[in-house]
Amino acid sequence: MRGHSINDRRSDSESILVSNRVEVIKTATITGEYVLAPNPCTTFPCLPGMVYSVLSDGKYYYITVNQSLLWAEGEKISWNGYAPKVGDRVTVVGEMVEKRDIKGKNFFQIEVTKLKRA
């Protein structure tokens, strides 16, 4: 399902963008390298920091747990006893969402249901 922009029509010649969010939700399996990447800019000002993601085919898939990014400075998480380390090759299964940051750049998040060594 693809979301769409919602415009608030103020007059015949003026419209204001209320949301430029893209939502494509599907179950996905991604295999790639477990890495740290700069977090997507979703607030103004952008929050600095690094988040865990899977790098596959040149794209970052930002890992989320309970709909929150997994920050490098946060609690370390394991899946069925496996705690991945940066550089590990992993396979992630979960609900993938395509979003757009405040600069208009699309990015992917994956809500992890399974994560294992590839």
pLDDT classification of 15: cutoffs 50, 70, 90: very low
The secondary structure of 56-82 as a DSSP string is ETTEEEEEEETTEE-BTTS----BTTB
- 24-117 folds as OB fold (Dihydrolipoamide Acetyltransferase, E2P) (2.40.50)
Cα–Cα distance for residue pair 20/103, rounded to 1 Å: 10
Output the pTM of the full model.
0.77
Task: Give pLDDT tens digits for 40-68.
Answer: 998 888 888 999 999 999 999 999 999 89
Q: Where are the domains of the chain?
A: 24-117
Total residues belonging to the chain = 118
Yes or no: say if 57 and 64 are a contact pair by the CB < 8 Å rule: no
Yes or no: say if 110 and 92 are a contact pair by the CB < 8 Å rule: yes
Task: Give pLDDT tens digits for 73-111.
Answer: 887 889 999 999 999 999 999 999 999 898 889 999 999
Provide the pLDDT for residue 94: 95
Closest of 90, 108, 87 to residue 98, by C-alpha: 108
